Amino acid sequence: MKVPTNSSYISSSVAAGPAPRTARLRRGVLVLPVLFAGVCMAAPNALIIQDGTIGTEASIVSNLTTKLTTAGYTVSTETVTPGNAVPSPISSTYAQVWDVRFSDGSAISSADSATFVAYLAAGGRLFVDGENTGSSPGRDASIASLVASAGGGTITPTAASNLETVYVPFTGPSGPVTSITFNGAAGSLTTGSGFFITQNLGDLIGAAIVWPLGTLSSAPAGVLIVVFDSDFMTSAADANSQALLANLIGYLYSTAPYITNLNPNSGPVGTSVIISGGNFGATQGASTVKFNGTTATPTSWSATSITANVPTGATTGNVIVTVGGQASNGVLFTVTAPAAPTIISLNPTLGPVASSVIISGTNFGATQSTSTVTFNGTTATATSWSATSITATVPTGALTGNVVVTVGGQASNGVNFTVTPYITNLNPTSGPVGTQVIVTGTTFGATQSTSTVKFNGTTATATSWSATSITVTVPTGATTGTVVVTVGGQASNGVTFTVTATPAPSITSVTPNSGPTGLSVVITGLNFGSSQGASTVTFNGTGAGTVASWSATSITLNVPIGATTGNVVVTVGGQASNGVLFTVSAAAPVPTLSESALILLACGLIALAARRLWRGQRPSAI
């Protein structure tokens, strides 16, 4: 039987390298490319296994030897007569092994199958020949068993006369494939289901189908080609058949890159994908990996494995590796919508602005890129980022509320983080009771409301309050210790404030320093306090009355009724000043009304007597 091919079509596919794989197969040939590991021997050797019992086989061996020699191989021949086993193991020095036995007596035994699978597992390239089932049902059945052992699934050859159909359960480039039909010389063209490469319709014989790389679930590392009715390999076959044979030889020893598996074969942008195959080269160099045309950045590269993240902008389609200008086969990768990020825990769950928080969870993405972390809506700065952990700093202005991670536009669940108040500075950091202190920090709240400021546990009165600054007075009874601001039940850090002894008041002068009660007096000195409060002034022990004015250095008041000469003393915070003498003088007596009348009368009489004497009259007795 002759299986014609189209030489021009074959030549173009050889020049194009291993991709597309569909150009590698022609009628009458079923190729099972079984995860080729990319073995390229420096001095290629080829082994032909024959049984020597059928005359046509001799022509095949002769023609194949010529073709292999022309391709640069050193060819060895091994005769394995029916009933005998293939020598085991097959040397790894053989770049290609061609089992051209097709008689029914040369069925592949379980031992032969194990030998072939071991060779494939080492990266070997194996060609196995069959015959239409009507002539060699045992041989064909054993080939089907080998395919199954090599991870190629179940194929079922069925035939009558020169027509043979192989049922193959896999999906081809154009959809599900259920069968491929090989036609003998007397057959008619039957294309079957799926994607077929057909010859010109004038041939009316033969059809072929591609079994794409990556469709075998558990295949070894080599390449397995299975054919039925291999008369196209004889020396008498036409030019097209000879070209097909040369193409198969080239296919088994191709140096172009190819992909055998993607792990995983679906996922969102950012997913790390391991691309397995061969002929990738030891290092990346100028080679590329593309996901449906979008270039990815590999994180590791070797001759048989590449690791790359699905690039931003990638869509569902083929992954292709290009090395030295040669593109690999394409293997489908489905780009899915990214899984929503999930926060599992925060550590810690509360803290002030600028504190560091570790966010643990899933689906954060390998790097931050355009992803964000917010604290109750305020964006934070991340200092580290991985798919399961983010370290972020609580941002300025953040308030208590949910932490949310957003990746690819999808927001995570929210987990509550309590932003606590934080004191950054006290001014001053020491002073006596009554000292005005400015407390600077974060998250104090816009107004005081129920918030408090305490000096070592003693509550102070605030005179002003904002989110970042509080002004308070050191309260009476305060002692040295930490100042703490409490907002919404959350206490800030404590900052030490030293309460110093209150300096005793000191009088330098009393002006005037003498006078009657009720007189206005100015007392000058130090440490009187900014206002009177509970402070007092005494005049020789008598408390002063109304105070007209009071400052830290001056007091104006009236000498109290009942005051007597003695020291003036100012007492502030329980501490008495020095005493300064004030003399209380008696007030000038005020005459009574009767006394005034008598005086006026006496004065009148004296004046009258004097007038009479001046006139020469004797004054009369009074």
Mean pLDDT of 215-224: 49
Q: Determine the Cα–Cα distance for residues 260 and 258; give it in Å rounded to an integer.
A: 7
Mean pLDDT of 116-124: 80
Q: In this structure, is residue 184 part of a structural domain? A: no
Residue where a domain stops, chosen among 372, 396, 419: 419
Helix (H, G, I), strand (E, B) or coil at 48: strand
Q: Give the pLDDT of residue 239.
A: 67
Give per-residue pLDDT as tens, 276-297: 877 788 999 999 999 999 999 9
- Cα torsion 245, 250, 253, 254: sign: negative
Q: Say whether pLDDT at 541 is over 80.
A: yes
Best mean pLDDT range from 61-65, 161-165, 257-261: 61-65
Q: Give the pLDDT of residue 254.
A: 59
Q: Determine the Cα–Cα distance for residues 616 and 45; give it in Å rounded to an integer.
A: 183
Token match 């691309």: residue? 275
Structural domain boundaries, residue 490? 422-499
Best mean pLDDT range from 224-238, 413-427, 539-553: 413-427
> Poorest-confidence range of 256-270, 318-332, 451-465, 594-608?
594-608
Is omega for the bond preceding 169 within 30 degrees of 0, making it cis? no
Mean pLDDT of 320-341: 86
**Strand ranges across the sheet with 208-210:** 74-79, 45-50, 94-99, 125-130, 223-228, 29-32, 208-210, 196-197
Give per-residue pLDDT as tens, 19-77: 222 233 333 444 544 433 333 334 478 999 999 877 788 999 999 999 999 888 899 99
Give φ, ψ of 502 to 5 degrees: -75, 125
Q: What is the mean pLDDT of the chain?
A: 79
Q: Give the pLDDT of residue 194.
A: 24
Q: What are the residues facing 453 on neighbouring strands?
A: 485
Q: Identify the band that residue 611 occupies on the pLDDT scale cut at 50, 70 and 90.
A: confident
**233 shares its domain with 143:** yes
**What tokens were used for 279?**
């002929």
Give per-residue pLDDT as tens, 464-475: 999 999 999 999
Q: Give the pLDDT of residue 91.
A: 86
Q: Determine the Cα–Cα distance for residues 382 and 406; give it in Å rounded to an integer.
A: 13
Beta-carbon contacts of residue 233 (< 8 Å; ≥ 6 apart):
60, 63, 64, 100, 129, 241, 245
Best mean pLDDT range from 40-49, 219-228, 299-308, 583-592: 299-308
Is omega for the bond preceding 503 within 30 degrees of 0, making it cis? no
Q: Identify the band that residue 195 occupies on the pLDDT scale cut at 50, 70 and 90.
A: very low
Mean pLDDT of 224-249: 69
For Cα atoms 529, 450, 415, give the angle at the middle one, nearest 5 degrees: 135
Helix (H, G, I), strand (E, B) or coil at 128: strand
Q: Determine the Cα–Cα distance for residues 103 and 159; give it in Å rounded to an integer.
A: 16
Q: Determine the Cα–Cα distance for residues 395 and 379; give it in Å rounded to an integer.
A: 7
Q: Say whether pLDDT at 498 is over 90.
A: yes
Is omega for the bond preceding 89 within 30 degrees of 0, making it cis? yes
Q: Give the pLDDT of residue 219.
A: 41
Q: Determine the Cα–Cα distance for residues 544 and 146; give it in Å rounded to an integer.
A: 120
**What tokens were used for 551?**
């400052």
Residue where a domain stops, chosen among 474, 499, 524: 499
Q: Give the pLDDT of residue 374.
A: 97
Q: Give the pLDDT of residue 612.
A: 72
Tell which wins on pLDDT, 219 or 119.
119
| Cβ pair 77, 51 in contact under 8 A | no
Helix (H, G, I), strand (E, B) or coil at 63: helix
Tell which wins on pLDDT, 290 or 531.
290
Is omega for the bond preceding 512 within 30 degrees of 0, making it cis? yes
Q: Give the pLDDT of residue 159.
A: 58
Q: Say whether pLDDT at 410 is over 60.
A: yes
Q: What percent of the chain has pLDDT over 70?
A: 73
Q: Say whether pLDDT at 168 is over 80.
A: no
Q: Say whether pLDDT at 190 is over 60.
A: no
**Antiparallel, parallel or unpaired: β 196-197 and 74-79:** unpaired
Mean pLDDT of 130-157: 77
Q: Give the pLDDT of residue 256.
A: 67
Q: In what helix (H) or strand (E) does residue 423 lie, and over which residues does it extend?
A: strand 422-427
Helix (H, G, I), strand (E, B) or coil at 320: strand
Q: Say whether pLDDT at 494 is over 90.
A: yes
Q: Say whether pLDDT at 548 is over 70.
A: yes
| Cβ pair 506, 569 in contact under 8 A | no
**116 shares its domain with 35:** yes
**54 shares its domain with 85:** yes
**457 shares its domain with 578:** no
Q: In this structure, is residue 350 part of a structural domain? A: yes
Q: In this structure, is residue 401 part of a structural domain? A: yes
Q: In this structure, is residue 622 part of a structural domain? A: no
Q: What is the DSSP string of 280-317?
A: --SS-TT-EEEETTEEP-EEEE-SSEEEEEPPTT--SE
- Where on the phi/psi map is residue 593: left (φ > 0), alpha (ψ -120 to 50), or beta? alpha
| Cβ pair 375, 401 in contact under 8 A | yes
CATH number (domain holding residue 309) = 2.60.40.10
Q: Determine the Cα–Cα distance for residues 207 and 201; give it in Å rounded to an integer.
A: 11
Q: What are the residues facing 351 on neighbouring strands?
A: 419
Length of the chain: 622
- Cα torsion 333, 334, 340, 344: sign: negative
Find, among 455, 451, 448, the residue nearest to 433 by Cα.
455
Q: Determine the Cα–Cα distance for residues 292 and 269; give it in Å rounded to an integer.
A: 13
Tell which wins on pLDDT, 311 or 42.
311
Q: Determine the Cα–Cα distance for residues 123 and 118; give it in Å rounded to an integer.
A: 9
Q: Give the pLDDT of residue 152.
A: 60
Find, among 366, 450, 465, 357, the residue nearest to 402 by Cα.
357
Q: Say whether pLDDT at 400 is over 80.
A: yes
Beta-carbon contacts of residue 570 (< 8 Å; ≥ 6 apart):
505, 507, 523, 525, 528, 535, 536, 537, 555, 576, 577
**243 shares its domain with 379:** no
**368 shares its domain with 412:** yes
Q: Say whether pLDDT at 206 is over 60.
A: no
Find, among 467, 357, 485, 491, the residue nearest to 417 by Cα.
357
Q: In this structure, is residue 204 part of a structural domain? A: no
Q: Identify the band that residue 620 occupies on the pLDDT scale cut at 50, 70 and 90.
A: low
Q: Give the pLDDT of residue 183.
A: 40
Query: Per the confidence metrics, is the pTM higher than 0.75?
Result: no
Q: Say whether pLDDT at 329 is over 80.
A: no
Q: Count how many domains the chain has.
A: 5
**What tokens were used for 524?**
């000058």
Q: Identify the band that residue 354 occupies on the pLDDT scale cut at 50, 70 and 90.
A: very high
> Poorest-confidence range of 102-111, 196-205, 529-538?
196-205
Q: In this structure, is residue 168 part of a structural domain? A: no
Q: Identify the band that residue 240 occupies on the pLDDT scale cut at 50, 70 and 90.
A: low
Q: Give the pLDDT of residue 555.
A: 96
**455 shares its domain with 569:** no
Residue where a domain stops, chosen among 385, 419, 453: 419
**What tokens were used for 51?**
């049984």
**347 shares its domain with 328:** no
**15 shares its domain with 149:** yes
Q: In this structure, is residue 568 part of a structural domain? A: yes
Q: How is residue 574 annotated by DSSP? A: T
Mean pLDDT of 197-219: 33
**243 shares its domain with 360:** no
Q: Say whether pLDDT at 423 is over 50.
A: yes
Q: What are the residues facing 539 on neighbouring strands?
A: 542, 568
> Poorest-confidence range of 253-257, 459-463, 531-535?
253-257
**488 shares its domain with 415:** no
Q: What are the residues facing 385 on neighbouring strands?
A: 390
Tell which wins on pLDDT, 406 or 17.
406
Q: Give the pLDDT of residue 534.
A: 84
> Poorest-confidence range of 340-354, 419-433, 435-449, 527-541?
527-541
Q: In this structure, is residue 471 part of a structural domain? A: yes
Token match 């015959």: residue? 131
**What tokens were used for 296?**
């990815």
**142 shares its domain with 25:** yes
